[in-house]
Amino acid sequence: MTAATATTATTATEAAYAQRRGELEEYFDRTASSAWAALTSDAPVGRIRATVRAGRERMRETLLGYLPEDLTGARVLDAGCGTGTFATCLAARGADVVAIDISQTLVDLARQRAEAEGVGPGTIEYRVGDMLDPSLGIFDWVVALDSLIHYPADQLQALIVQLCARTRFGVAFTFVPRTALLSIMHVVGKTFPRGNRSPDIRPITERALRARLGADEAMAGFTCGRSDRVESGFYTSQAMELRRA
Ligand SMILES: C[S@@+](CC[C@H](N)C(=O)[O-])C[C@H]1O[C@@H](n2cnc3c(N)ncnc32)[C@H](O)[C@@H]1O
């Protein structure tokens, strides 16, 4: 590949990522923001959403299980924090959390909820923007709960690689396993407001994901650790842990 061809490929990849991120911002910030607010609250929900809520709670506990019990003083990124429940859990373990999301609406809600709950003993800094923003700096740990699931395989890989590059110890994230018949797609596709630009889920097999990460030179310093699937009615998602070797 010539230098010119490589530059063109990089530009095309960046443009595709920016477009996808823009679609997701539109969806989570406007189309589905009140649905996410309800799902992530204690408000009564219908049967389908109740299975999703229960599954997501189990998944949050699963990812938390990949992190040290005591995070006092650790700098942790909640990448795609949504309404901020995970960030609050991390702060409760003593972490200094940066909670970032492309949706201003969801970040505002996250901040309000944390204030109402009285966060601590750690802290939470809320940011609106891209989880890959280099100005965020380096973290001890990164978590991404159901926030990478809308990206196609090449973008998912690039996101994971770049999140790993700014992590001292590890990244804990979720993906939607391709084998799942019922997936979080139901949340977006059936129970949530739908529009032309509503984001679909991009499932990937665990095998394909491991192969991609294993073949990526930038991941040489990392090993794939635990991986656990959570299935709860209309929710299916799989956790994966990446640790610096
Ligand atoms: C399915 S929601 C999950 C939110 C939260 N992690 C949770 O589990 O409640 C996906 C979130 O990822 C956010 N997101 C997607 N791509 C992002 C990016 N590149 N940078 C920051 N946030 C992103 C979306 O705005 C959305 O709030």
Domains in the chain, CATH or no CATH each: 3-244 (3.40.50.150)
Cis preceding-peptide flag for 121 (omega within 30 of 0): yes
| Pairwise CA distance, residues 99 & 117, whole Å | 16
Provide residues with CB under 6 Å of ligand 1: 21, 24, 28, 40, 80-83, 85-86, 100-103, 106, 130-131, 145-147
Ligand 1 mean position to 102 CA, how many Å? Answer: 7
243 token code pair: 């640790």
Index of the ligand 1 atom closest to the CA of residue 25: 25
pLDDT at res. 193:
53
Measured by CA distance, the residue closest to atom 4 of ligand 1 is 82
pLDDT at res. 200:
84
pLDDT at res. 10:
76
Index of the ligand 1 atom closest to the CA of residue 159: 19
Q: Do residues 113 and 87 lie in contact, with contact meaning Cβ atoms separated by under 8 Å?
A: no
Q: pLDDT tens for the chain, 245 residues: list them.
A: 666 666 776 788 899 999 999 999 999 999 989 989 999 999 999 998 999 999 999 999 999 999 999 999 999 999 999 999 999 999 999 999 999 999 999 999 999 999 999 988 899 999 999 999 999 999 999 999 999 999 999 999 999 999 999 999 999 999 999 865 554 555 555 555 555 445 788 999 999 999 999 999 999 999 999 999 999 998 999 999 999 98
Measured by CA distance, the residue closest to atom 14 of ligand 1 is 80
Measured by CA distance, the residue closest to atom 7 of ligand 1 is 82
pLDDT at res. 34:
92
Ligand 1 mean position to 196 CA, how many Å? Answer: 19
pLDDT at res. 5:
66
Query: pTM to 2 decimals?
Result: 0.92
pLDDT at res. 234:
84
pLDDT at res. 196:
44
Ligand 1 mean position to 1 CA, how many Å? Answer: 34
Q: Where are the beta strands (DSSP E) in the chain?
A: 75-79, 96-101, 123-128, 139-144, 167-175, 222-232, 235-244
pLDDT at res. 197:
46
Give, for ligand 1, the residue of 17, 28, 151 to mutate: max count of ligand atoms closer than 8 Å to Cβ: 28
Q: Do residues 145 and 86 lie in contact, with contact meaning Cβ atoms separated by under 8 Å?
A: yes
pLDDT at res. 12:
80
**Count of residues in the chain:** 245
